[in-house]
């Protein structure tokens, strides 16, 4: 994790968006971008019950040899830990906190993240995908490989490169800087 005053949190879903995470966790600051090896991103609902907030599947991760999930590592004060657990519905049993090792620029970091319990696969809602896409604006100082990052190793078919580029252009105020190489 970190020292006794802060911890590292690996986000891969809606908490990629700084404005969303910092609403209830004001200490969160970007530490780096990292990847979690041997996991894949999936969308679903806890026990098959759609979220009242998102009206569709939400992100979780599951073990999958050879796959990887990209995300953001946030440094947060311990004082935000209870709020983060609450946001992830830990007390309701929807997600469980886990500590996993992520890789970034030649080093490994131990981070807290969350894994959905009793996940029933379900497609994400348009609102949920939009939050993930907003976090990937190509002018972001931290994120660059949008297509892989948005839907990497997802159970549901990822959007085509053309759709993703149109979507990013419509979301990013600096669309003239779209320099991301979208892979097929």
Binding site membership for substrate: which residues? 9-14, 128
Give φ, ψ of 105 to 5 degrees. 35, 55
Instruction: Check if 88 is active-site.
Output: yes
pTM of this prediction? 0.74
Map tokens 């997600």 to a residue: 95
For domain 6-177, is the CATH number 3.10.490.10?
yes
Binding site membership: which residues? 9-14, 128
Collapsed DSSP state (helix, strand, coil) of residue 148? helix
pLDDT in tens, 24-76: 999 999 999 899 999 999 989 998 887 777 788 889 999 999 999 988 999 99
Compute the distance between CA of residue 140 and CA of residue 55 in angstroms, rounded to an integer: 27
Given the residues 62, 68, 82, 88, the one annotated as active site:
88
Strands 107-116 and 95-104: antiparallel
Compute the distance between CA of residue 38 and CA of residue 4 in angstroms, rounded to an integer: 29
């Amino acid at each position: 994790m970190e020292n006794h005053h802060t911890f590292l949190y690996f986000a891969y879903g809606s908490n990629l968006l700084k404005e969303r995470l910092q609403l209830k966790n004001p200490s969160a600051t970007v530490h780096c971008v990292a990847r979690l090896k041997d996991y894949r991103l999936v969308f679903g609902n806890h026990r098959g019950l759609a979220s009242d907030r998102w009206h569709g599947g939400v992100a979780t991760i599951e073990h999958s040899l050879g796959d990887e999930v990209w995300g953001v590592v946030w440094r947060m004060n311990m004082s935000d830990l209870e709020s983060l657990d609450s946001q992830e519905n830990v007390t309701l049993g929807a997600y469980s906190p886990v500590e996993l090792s992520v890789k970034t620029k030649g080093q490994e970091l131990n981070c807290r993240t969350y894994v959905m319990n009793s996940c029933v696969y379900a497609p994400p809602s348009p609102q949920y995908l939009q939050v993930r896409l907003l976090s990937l604006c190509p002018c972001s100082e931290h994120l660059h490989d949008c297509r892989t990052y948005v839907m990497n190793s997802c159970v549901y078919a990822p959007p085509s490169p053309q759709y993703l580029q149109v979507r990013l252009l419509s979301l990013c105020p600096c669309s003239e800087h779209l320099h991301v190489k979208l892979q097929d």
